[in-house]
Structure 1
């Protein structure tokens, strides 16, 4: 399978990084939403970044 990849847009990258940072902070300091759903939110951050790489204009 040949995938045509491209660099994600800045906004896509920043959204995924902000979610990942909040999850990491939520592991140190209990945050109401980010601590119980840390693994799922980290997966969502990765999938957002993956979509930005594989799809154009995302």
Structure 2
């Protein structure tokens, strides 16, 4: 999931360089959502792993 966040961030940067502001804003929004979902899932996984031991 972190991979997809980075991909959308790169797409946003490329779109911003070429002047496509709407596409860049949309890609940045998707990248932010994916990044925060990744963080939440990583923390839940970490806590579950601690509680299993």
Q: Please identify the structure whose Cα radius of gyration is greater.
A: 2
**Which protein has greater RCO, CA pairs closer than 8 Å, 6+ apart?**
1
- How many residues of Structure 1 are paired with residues of Structure 2 in the alignment? 42
Instruction: Select the structure that is richer in helix.
Output: 2
TM-score by length of 2: 0.62
- Structure 2 regions of 5+ residues with no counterpart? 46-53
4+ residue runs of structure 1 moved beyond 6 angstroms? none
